[in-house]
Amino acid sequence: MSAPAVAFAAPADVELLPNPINPDWIIEGAPQARARRLAESADGTSSVMAWSCTPGRFEWHYAVDETVHIISGEVLVTDEKGAIHRLGPGDMAFFPAGSHSIWQVTKPVRKLAVCRHSMPRPFGFVLRAWNKVFHRLTGFPTGSGLGEGPVPSAGGPEVAAA
């Protein structure tokens, strides 16, 4: 069995295709979104997308866990508690499946999004256990090599890594 191919992309420059925002979600303006899938896991549960949008204000409902990294532009994100967060180049945010927010794109924005279908905790536990057994039997290293310790939160106490 051969290993899956490694994917390379330039998310700041890749040509994007029209990806309209649900018209019922648009609050203000006429935001035009574009996107392109850059990579997908073999099991289809994770994908990496490049996405852009012109100015406007809209709701966003997350069907999957989504981690975003802003490449260019600016967006003001209002979370479920009403707090407003500015995201600009280099900033990242994590939106869990089932959450929603309001995006106000103030300058055309481009982001890299890592999307992952979440699974119930018991299945996640079983999958992690299976991976440990598999890696011990095959000799493949476990984990990503990025560490398992706490991750500092911007302006707050340390939080446990996911």
109 pLDDT higher than 60: yes
Confidence of residue 78 (pLDDT cuts 50, 70, 90): very high
Report the percentage of the chain scoring pLDDT > 90. Answer: 62
Question: What pLDDT score was predicted for residue 139?
Answer: 67
Q: 135: helix, coil or strand?
A: helix
**Per-residue pLDDT at 18 exceeds 70:** yes
Q: Contact 109/74 with Cβ under 8 angstroms?
A: yes
What's the pLDDT tens digit per position in 21-35? 999 999 999 999 999
| Residues contacting 52, CB < 8 A, separation 6+ | 16, 33, 34, 35, 73, 108, 109, 110, 111
Q: Residue 154 — very low, low, confident or very high, per pLDDT cuts 50/70/90?
A: very low
Instruction: Give 6 or 125, the one with higher predicted confidence.
Output: 6
Residue 44: the pLDDT is: 83
Helices (H), 7-106: none
Least confident range from 1-15, 44-58, 117-131: namely 117-131
Pairwise pLDDT comparison (44 vs 90), residue with the higher score: 90
Whether the CB-CB separation of 105 and 31 falls below 8 Å is answered with yes
pLDDT (mean) for 100-120: 92
Is the per-residue pLDDT at 155 higher than 50? no
User: What average pLDDT does the segment 85-92 reach?
Assistant: 98
| Strand bridging mode 33-40 / 46-53 | antiparallel
> Domains (ranges, CATH) in the chain?
17-116 (2.60.120.10)
At 96, the pLDDT band (50, 70, 90 cuts) reads: very high
